[in-house]
Amino acid sequence: MAKKKKNSEKPSEADILKNTYIASAGEIMEQSIVDTLEINYMPYAMSVILSRAIPEIDGFKPSHRKLLYTMYKMNLLTSGRTKSANIVGQTMRLNPHGDASIYETMVRLSRGNEALLNPYVDSKGNFGKAYSRDMHYAAARYTEAKLDVICNELFRDIDKDTTDFVDNYDSTMKEPVLLPVTFPSILANVSLGIAVGMASSICSFNLRELCQTTIELIKNREHNVIETLPAPDFIGGGIILYDRQQMEEIYNTGRGSIKVRAKYSYDKSANCIDIKQIPPTTTAEVIIDKIIERIKSGSLREISDIRDETDKKGLKITIDLKRGTDPDKLMQKLYKSTPLEDSFSCNFNVLIDGYPRVLGVKELLIEWIRFRGRCIFRRINFDLNKAKDRLHLLKGLEKILLDIDKAIKIIRNTEEESEVVPNLMVGFGIDKIQAEYVAEIKLRHLNREHILKRLKDIENLTKQIADMEDTLSSKAKMRKVIIGELEQVISKYSTERKSEILEISNIESENESEDIPDYPVTLFFTRDGYFKKITAQSLRMSGEQKLKENDRITQVIEASNNTSLLFFTDKCQVYKAKANDFPDTKASVLGEFVASKLEMEPEENAVYVSTLSDDGKGSMLFFFENGKVAKVSLASYLTKTNRKKLIKAYSDKSPLAAIIKIEDDVDIVVETTAGRYLLFNTSIVAEKTTKDTIGVACFTLKKGNRISNVRLHKPGEFVKDSRYKTKSLPSTGALLSTEDAALKNNMTFEGFDE
């Protein structure tokens, strides 16, 4: 017979199982699939949607919020860094999902990982890199972290009832439902999440542009956000291929995709391409693997080597080229066949008041403004109640201070301590709270100075309470508070854009398989903007050039079929093209109208054409009617991407008088409407790299005069060159001598001649 167990002994697991009955345990039962989904699967799905994968209006998922709040309670906003393991351990009081997932969350929020445009964690140590698949972060015991300075805007006034608090999972402490962020953090950083049956994918925007757009939206709800928030901005930079219509679709619906290209530079001395910025949706290793795959397949024969040269300075993928390879054409191939050009899919799915909603940018910002308005209302209301409580105490003190001797007499004549407060209440007609406050006053404070200070506090509190009540009752003043906070965020934390915006219309489509032949051609450009390209053979057999009535040829250029061309317009823009973009023609036709061919803006016309070599050798001279000249390096018009149009091609501060391209420094003759002439060598004009520079004064003009003509100096043009020549600028020039006036009658020049 088995011995009975003592009462002090705990029952074994086997005993528990013997005495426990579980209904239907081990039985196979039939159940409707609808019931299975509703009873078993729906709670899990709702938990993932509401408590894990979808961010809320403050821009955070629960895991982010729990981690950041824990760090805030650890005083990591004002103190130095601590070991990441300490942070992870403390966060487990709010987040029960395990240390590995908590640390991974912190890594993604860190500055060192470079995953966020506006990181929240100031990190020290190896936190890996978001742009690398193989650069793993170190263990939590080796790294340190604290809250980044921008987190001041996440927790400002969190202790002033600006947000609700709830119990943690074991009801041992409180945690915030939302963080009272002072800027639209929901759009300030990339946020990705996959729930059950839905997902969220939010791109990041530049903080300055985002806050400024929010300010404009507060002032005017009809504001078009795309005017102040042109495109997203990614931490990795890159080039955003901008399509206005597509971007407006994303802004309106919250759905769509954005194409992002890698940014590269060509090192001519080493004959290699350096890639330092890639799309946010890929990694360096994936790009390299794809390029190697294409090299092995034989579709990329222009590359001799590729390697990852990433170091402490940042990402760097180096591609060595074979001799004679055109780097721009190669990159066009790589963009089409590798993740060097990739799409970021947008799905602005956010939890609003506990419900998932897909919102456009404007709707999302309006929801944030409402959320922030509620936070500010609660904060002011909290301060108001505190001020009223303080005023209530001081009002009681004021009554006591009117007759201190009476108060002292009441206290001294009261036999029991418990009767002091009731006696004060009766003696001065004050309530219990006021009497308690008076009874606790120290004897040293019963002096004139302390009394006067407290009476002054009553005046100040009365004014503050009136101001706060006025603010709470005025929507306009509430809006001003939000605007003021956003302006502070801009001044403290804003940075320049990292991602370049490139309009899709400015990208040339290149046919990889097309082999364009190269041969000598002669280019003709007319005053009215017509362009002809004639081969040498056709030119020899041609007769007189056919032109539009009253039109005339202003430029004749010897070039080749693959020569790059720059067409400068009267709208201070330049359009890039190739000679092979124009068909071979004959002298007997008018030629192509450049404005139509290059799809220029309405009423925009080409006024000058220049060739552009791959090395950008040479300079452009821009003469303006106000007497100034700008010398701009042709290298300034070279671009790594195939853009069709460059804005601000030259200064628009004064009307253009003439454009001249020079290979080397030459002598130039400048003529004014007053009949004065100036001769100088272009070497005395400093070359600039800024295309729209206003230039330097070359001619000192009297009121009403302007530059009317500019040309290259021709030997024998003047009897005495010294009369008009200067070695320094500006100059007043000189009037024509009698001999030179006679020569001028036999010569004609054109201001836009090359």
pLDDT of residue 506: 67
The per-residue pLDDT for 26 is: 65
pLDDT band at 588 (very low <50, low <70, confident <90, very high): confident
pLDDT of residue 700 exceeding 70, the answer is yes
Higher model confidence: residue 153 or residue 742?
153
Q: Which of 78-82, 93-97, 317-321 shows the lowest per-residue confidence on average (mean pLDDT)?
A: 93-97
Mean pLDDT over each residue of the chain, to the nearest integer: 88
The pLDDT-based confidence of 753 (bands split at 50, 70, 90) is very low
For 357-407, write each residue's pLDDT tens digit. Answer: 999 999 999 999 999 999 999 999 999 999 999 999 888 888 887 778 888
Using an 8 Å Cβ cutoff, are 263 and 276 in contact? yes
CATH number of 263-339: 3.30.1360.40
Q: Which class does domain 60-180 fall in?
A: alpha beta
**Residue-level pLDDT at 519:** 86
The pLDDT score that the predictor gives to residue 131 is 94
Quick one: fold of 613-754? Neuraminidase (2.120.10)
Q: Which of 6-15, 141-150, 394-403 has the lowest mean pLDDT?
A: 6-15
Whether pLDDT at 115 is above 90: yes
For the sheet with 341-347, list strands across it. Answer: 191-194, 199-202, 341-347, 255-261, 239-242, 500-503
Give residue 127's pLDDT.
Answer: 96
Half-sphere exposure of 239 (CA within 13 A, CB side): 21
The two three-digit tokens of residue 620, written as one number: 């452009």
The region of weakest confidence among 22-31, 66-75, 132-141 is: 22-31
- Give the tokens for residue 181: 């962020």
Rounded mean pLDDT of 603-609? 93
Least confident of 98-102, 365-369, 384-388, 742-746: 742-746
CATH code of the domain occupying 367-493: 1.10.268.10
pLDDT of residue 22: 52
Above 70 in pLDDT, residue 47? yes
pLDDT of 716 > 90? The answer is no
Which listed residue (142, 264, 335, 724) is catalytic? 142
- pLDDT value at residue 24: 60
Phi, psi (degrees; rounded to nearest 5) at 246 = -65, -40
User: 443 versus 521: which is more confidently predicted?
Assistant: 521
Structure tokens at 247: 């971007």
Determine what percent of the chain is predicted with pLDDT higher than 70. Answer: 93
pLDDT exceeds cutoff 90 at 445: no
pLDDT at position 747 is: 55
> Picking from 418-432, 557-571, 732-746, which range would have the lowest pLDDT averaged per residue?
732-746
Quote the pLDDT of residue 463.
93
pLDDT at 190: 94
Answer whether residue 642 shows pLDDT above 80.
no
pLDDT higher than threshold 90 for residue 470: yes
On the question of pLDDT at 262 being above 80, the answer is yes
Answer yes or no: are the C-beta atoms of 147 and 77 closer than 8 Å: yes
* Residue 575 annotated as catalytic: no
Peptide bond into 583 cis (omega under 30): no
Any idea which of 232-246, 356-370, 495-509 has the lowest mean pLDDT?
A: 495-509
Q: In the chain, pLDDT over 90 holds for what percent of residues?
A: 60
Beta carbons of 144 and 129 less than 8 angstroms apart: no
The DSSP string of 259-306 is EEE-EEEEETTTTEEEEEE--TT--HHHHHHHHHHHHHHTS--SEEEE
What is residue 44's predicted lDDT score, i.e. its pLDDT? Answer: 83
Q: Quote the tokens at residue 114.
A: 């470079």
* pLDDT of 25: 59
Q: Does residue 311 contact residue 274 with C-beta atoms inside 8 Å? A: no
Q: Is the pLDDT of residue 18 over 90?
A: no
Residue 733, both tokens: 């020039």
Domain residue ranges of the chain, discontinuous segments joined by +: 60-180, 263-339, 367-493, 524-598, 613-754
> Among candidates 374, 373, 369, 359, which has minimal Cα distance to 184?
369
* Rounded Cα gap, residues 45 and 198, in angstroms: 10
Q: How does strand 656-662 pair with strand 687-688?
A: unpaired
* Tens-digit pLDDT profile for residues 156-204: 999 999 999 999 999 999 999 999 999 999 999 999 999 888 999 999 9
In one letter, which amino acid is 471?
T
Instruction: Provide the b/e sequence for 219-257 (b: ≥16 CB within 10 Å).
Output: eeeebebbebbbbbbbbbbbbbbbbeeebbbbbebbebe
* pLDDT surpassing 60 at residue 748: no
Q: Is the pLDDT of residue 721 over 60?
A: yes
Q: Does the predicted TM-score (pTM) go above 0.85?
A: no
